[in-house]
Structure 1
Amino acid sequence: MKITGYRTLAAHHEWQRAIGDANGHIVDAITTVPVVVIETDEGVEGVGIGSHADLDRLFPAIEGEDPRAVSSLFDRMLAQVFKSGHGGATYGGLATFDAALWDLKAKIAGEPLWRLLGGRDRFVPGYASGLDIALPDDQLAAFYASFAQRGFVAGKLKGGLDIDADLRRLQIIHDVFAENTSRPGLMLDSNESWNLKQAVRYVRELERRFDLIWVEEPLRRWDAAGHARLSSAIRAAVATGENLTGVEQFRSLFDAGAPDIVQSGAIWGVSHAHRLALASAARDLPFSLVGYNANPAAAHVMAAIPNHLTTEVQELSFAPGVNVDHEFADGGIILSDAPGAGITVDEKAIHAARTGDGWRDPVGPHMRPLRAGLRIVLDGVER
């Protein structure tokens, strides 16, 4: 069997709510879901979700190759962009090819991906995450209640700009999940919006009332020394890593003893998540997948590693035409038992769906404010 080509699709997901974080938000959000389908000479196809970046530059590394050699093909793609570098957006395209190749390999083997990777159980523990900084309190409660009804016991708030608001909203999430447990799990994600001392003061204030499981991306992603200092100053664990593109980018964090919980963004694919999880396990660090909805294939890795903690679930539905054969129950994800990653596409439905600006919205969460980390008063008002 040989890889002969690929095609791309752009599905559009209507969130039916505002989504965002400390950097910005999109009202009535509609985001693009990039899909890649790898084609073979025997008609079997692999589906990956994540990014369309640099696919034309990367494809020569896998064209004509046997798709079953996935790990080697991942390294061939890294080598293909050696001079210009694979970091950032390029890594997204590479990882989406990778996810499609793993889907293809599992289909050829006639096994679900979690089983092919060595998993014993197709249940993946998860937590709810609303991308919720712009939601009014009633919608915040309703979102997390929809997860509590499926057995979830933990939720992550987007915050970091207003201590009083975060205290109030953490209490709302706590009260929702208190229906399922006497000790709901609470996390706070500030999306790199603090400097070190802001983080210490902010988290300590929150910890006067709440026992946080972790604070996520409290500082800039490369600040190994800062993350280590913060971890020693607060009770909560420090979780980071979702935006680092390549296992080698974690070396300074590992050397500094910086992350208490290692995170991988799901969009970076199957091989990245697997390699990073094992590197973390060698250091006795728990591992957590971020953004499951952006690439559900990566959740299969979580069923096959020894140190998975919990996976972020941001939504209970997917874009029209993107069909994911996973269930949400008992506080987590039940992966597909069919061959592959459990992802199929209806191309007619994708083409017929509404389009939107998505992450390109200039006030959205992917645009870092110029004054981030430089606010004197953290009360939710930018002066």
Structure 2
Amino acid sequence: MKVTQVRVEAHPLTLTRPIGDANDPVGQWHQRQLVIALDTDEGLVGYAVAVPGCLGVLPVFADVVIGKDPAGVRGLWEAMVGRAFKAGVNGMTRVAIAALDVALWDLKAQANSEPLWRTLGATASSVPVYASGIEMPLGDAELVEYYRRQSTHGISFGKIKVGRDREDDLRRLRLAAQALAESGKPVRLAVDANEYWSAKTAIPWVRALEQEHPLVWVEEPCPRRDVRALARVSAGVDAAVAAGENLNLVDEFLPLLLGGAVDVVQVGIQTTGISGALRVAETAAGFGLPVATVNCPGHVIAHLAAVLPNHLALEVLDAGEDALLEVDHTLGDGHLKLGSRPGHGVRPRAGLPVTDVLPRTGAAVLPGRGPGAGLLPPGFTPRSRTTGRITDHTTGCITDHTRD
């Protein structure tokens, strides 16, 4: 089986309520979802959902996968990351790579006639979850209603956005705990400051919150790459420090891991896809650290969570973000239960109107990192330039996604 073309469609989405954090307390109601489809010569289609902003770089990485067998998804992921070497795997580049990686895994599992969690090697399809509201724009009554609704799914673990007003945070933490207690289970809480604090601000603030309710973790209390600040917070509060949702490859996580700056490692689709998240999760396991998975459209990352022995909980959001999708999972007893549909089970809804078909435009080819870079000791001479094929990328250009 080979990928024959990459198709894209963008669709507007209005959420059922605004979502926002300390950086955006008013919140956002509207999104545009980019549906990416990988067609194959055997009629199977792999899907992923991303943000339309990645379209500008998508052709660069689509060129890597077109004409290739999805069975080699991890090798194709390596090739895409290698192509991004000069520019770096950041911003919309990582979004594009992640989306293509997810769609390739979808195809690989479909070709195996099994759900993705089984292709990844999991023996069970049930994943523990925690309720995340991204709820800073909500009033008290709305906040209570949200977490009370999550408690009806047996969820007793919730995460609250904090960071702008300590008294508000204490009150909202109390209200969320009361609502989640209706699950009939012991309540666990985490908080998320979305990089809003310095260490000097974070430590007394978190200590005050811990007086109200013990915290499983405080998420991104300081900027994502500030190893010293995150390590200070970890040493200064009882809660674990969770970080990583905005980092990409293993090399970005290593300073935090080596510096004792993270206690719970976060991975998600944005960790450069399922392949990238798997690599980071395995690295975290080598440091003896647990992993928490980050919410994404259709909870696709749950398939990876199911196979991780060091997995704590999957973030689930309920704000109408999956209104355009058909999913193959259910929530109950504090877990997400993945289905048995081949692939990852997330598809655009049947009959979804095409409001904006984005053109498959050309893009310059990036040369990527040279073969063997970083692998060979100094002074080692690889095969002769006269016997190996050398490709001149200086004038290369993708003119169309489709190949014969």
TM-score, length basis structure 1 = 0.88
Q: Please give the secondary structure, in 2, of the residue aligned with 1:341.
A: coil
Q: Which whole-Å deviations, capped at 9, do the CAs of 1:316-353 have from their partners, x for residues lacking one?
A: 75444311111111112111211100112236414369
Partner AA of 2:177 in structure 1: H
Which residue of structure 2 lines up, in the alignment, with residue 8 of structure 1? 8
Change (3 A) 1:114 1:317: farther
Q: Does 1:278 align with 2:282?
A: yes
Q: Does 1:166 align with 2:169?
A: yes
Shift of 1:40: 1.0
In structure 2, C-alpha distance between the alignment counterparts of 1:119 and 1:311, rounded to whole Å: 15
Q: Where does the alignment leave 5 or more consecutive residues of structure 2 unmatched?
A: 357-404
Q: Which whole-Å deviations, capped at 9, do the CAs of 1:172-210 have from their partners, x for residues lacking one?
A: 110011122453111110000001110001001111221
Change (3 A) 1:332 1:13: farther
Change (3 A) 1:347 1:26: farther
Which residue of structure 2 lines up, in the alignment, with residue 241 of structure 1? 244
Asked if 2 retains the 8 angstrom alpha-carbon contact of 1:112 and 1:336, the reply is yes
Asked if 1 retains the 8 angstrom alpha-carbon contact of 2:298 and 2:325, the reply is no
Q: Please give the secondary structure, in 2, of the residue aligned with 1:75.
A: helix
Of the three residues 75, 90, 93, the one matched with 2:93 is 90
Q: Does 1:41 align with 2:27?
A: no
Partner AA of 1:275 in structure 2: R
In structure 2, C-alpha distance between the alignment counterparts of 1:239 and 1:154, rounded to whole Å: 15
Of the three residues 270, 291, 294, the one matched with 1:290 is 294
Q: Please give the secondary structure, in 1, of the residue aligned with 2:34.
A: strand
Q: Which whole-Å deviations, capped at 9, do the CAs of 1:277-307 have from their partners, x for residues lacking one?
A: 111111110000112x335221100001110
Which residue of structure 1 lines up, in the alignment, with residue 344 of structure 2? 341
In structure 2, C-alpha distance between the alignment counterparts of 1:317 and 1:133, rounded to whole Å: 16
Q: Please give the secondary structure, in 1, of the residue aligned with 2:20.
A: strand
Of the three residues 127, 147, 153, the one matched with 2:150 is 147
Partner AA of 2:282 in structure 1: L
Partner AA of 1:19 in structure 2: I
Q: Where does the alignment leave 5 or more consecutive residues of structure 1 unmatched?
A: 354-383
Which residue of structure 1 lines up, in the alignment, with residue 397 of structure 2? none
Moved more, 83-92 or 177-186: 177-186
Which residue of structure 1 lines up, in the alignment, with residue 22 of structure 2? 22
In structure 2, C-alpha distance between the alignment counterparts of 1:264 and 1:12, rounded to whole Å: 27
Shift of 1:24: 0.8
Asked if 1 retains the 8 angstrom alpha-carbon contact of 2:298 and 2:322, the reply is no
Shift of 1:25: 4.1
TM-score, length basis structure 2 = 0.84
Change (3 A) 1:298 1:70: same
Asked if 2 retains the 8 angstrom alpha-carbon contact of 1:58 and 1:77, the reply is yes
Asked if 1 retains the 8 angstrom alpha-carbon contact of 2:156 and 2:185, the reply is no
What does residue range 290-369 of structure 1 map to in structure 2 within 5 Å?
Answer: 290-291=294-295, 293-294=296-297, 296-315=299-318, 317-346=320-349, 348-351=351-354
Which residue of structure 2 lines up, in the alignment, with residue 122 of structure 1? 125
Identity of counterpart residues, as a percentage?
Answer: 38
Which residue of structure 2 lines up, in the alignment, with residue 76 of structure 1? 79
Which residue of structure 1 lines up, in the alignment, with residue 256 of structure 2? 253
Structure number with bigger Rg: 2
Partner AA of 1:272 in structure 2: G
Shift of 1:28: 6.4
In structure 2, C-alpha distance between the alignment counterparts of 1:99 and 1:78, rounded to whole Å: 14
Change (3 A) 1:335 1:12: farther
Which residue of structure 2 lines up, in the alignment, with residue 266 of structure 1? 269
Asked if 2 retains the 8 angstrom alpha-carbon contact of 1:114 and 1:303, the reply is yes
What does residue range 174-193 of structure 1 map to in structure 2 within 5 Å?
Answer: 174-181=177-184, 183-193=186-196
Asked if 2 retains the 8 angstrom alpha-carbon contact of 1:324 and 1:344, the reply is yes
Shift of 1:48: 1.1
Shift of 1:13: 3.2
Shift of 1:159: 1.2
Q: Does 1:223 align with 2:226?
A: yes
Aligned-CA RMSD value: 1.7
In structure 2, C-alpha distance between the alignment counterparts of 1:257 and 1:69, rounded to whole Å: 35
